[in-house]
Amino acid sequence: MNKSLLLILASFTAGAFAAPISFDFKDPKGVNTIQFKLDAPLEQIAGTTNGISGTVTFDPAAPEATAGTILVDAKSLTVPNKMMSEHIQGERWLDTAKNDKITFELAGLSDVKASGANYTATAKGKLTLKGVTKEISVPVKLSYLEGAFGQRINKPELKGDLLVVRGNFTVLRTDFGINPGNMEDKVSNEISLSLALAGGAPQS
């Protein structure tokens, strides 16, 4: 058996038995963030949330099968104006007393294009916000960083991989019953979201 055929068989065997890797998005550094912006005619509201957790499974040999759930602590959404932050948490807006989690259930990726360790794709799944669930599609960029887990948390002796996810998309507050049709001169109906998240898969 020649060398080339052996390499092909070895590659096929490795791919056939590779298992998806589970990445934890509860960031030990606390720097995972989702930014949100509402740009209305009279005011722009911009804020962040870092209360992010969840697990995503990813297989670099089959990225289209990526799946999992990202959770956001709705009470962690803040804007610079303290009173405005309190209003956001209130009953007319997010009503976080009753809806303390925002969730995105990822069902898979489509239109996947790979360039080395980097991927572009469309993430498809269900977004639940203020108790309302909608099917959405989000353009994302993924970077699978093999062996980079310890480097990110400044402990290079620790082994493991990273999955970095970035994306920008828009949802409508009317779709999720967030005080629909009211105050649109100051609070835009469009909510622009920008995410930059890193999930870790430490190895024992």
Q: Give the tens place of pLDDT for each residue, 56-85.
A: 999 999 999 999 999 999 999 999 999 999
Range of the structural domain that residue 63 is part of: 20-203
Residue 71 domain-assigned (yes or no): yes
pTM over 0.75? The answer is yes
Name every residue whose Cβ is closer than 8 Å to that of residue 190 and which is 6 or more positions away in sequence: 38, 39, 170, 171, 172, 173
Tally helices (H) and strands (E) across the chain: 3, 10
3-state secondary structure of 1: coil
Residue 12 confidence (pLDDT): 45
Average pLDDT of the segment spanning 35-42: 97
Q: Is residue 33 part of a domain?
A: yes
Instruction: With a cut of 60, say whether residue 2 has pLDDT above it.
Output: no
Tokens of residue 94, six digits: 């997010």
Domain assignment present for 120: yes
Residue 6 in any domain: the answer is: no
Residue environment code for 78-112, b if the CB has 16+ CB neighbours within 10 A, otherwise e: bbeeeebeebbbeeebbbbeebbebbbbbeebeeb
Looking at residue 75, which CATH number applies to its domain? Answer: 2.40.128.110
- Domain presence at residue 9: no
Q: In this prediction, what percent of the chain has a pLDDT beyond 70?
A: 91
Domain count, the chain: 1
Task: Give a yes or no: residue 46 inside a domain.
Answer: yes
Q: Is the pLDDT of residue 16 over 80?
A: no
CB 150 within 8 A of CB 162: no
In a domain, 4, yes or no: no
Phi then psi for 64, rounded to 5 degrees?
-65, -20
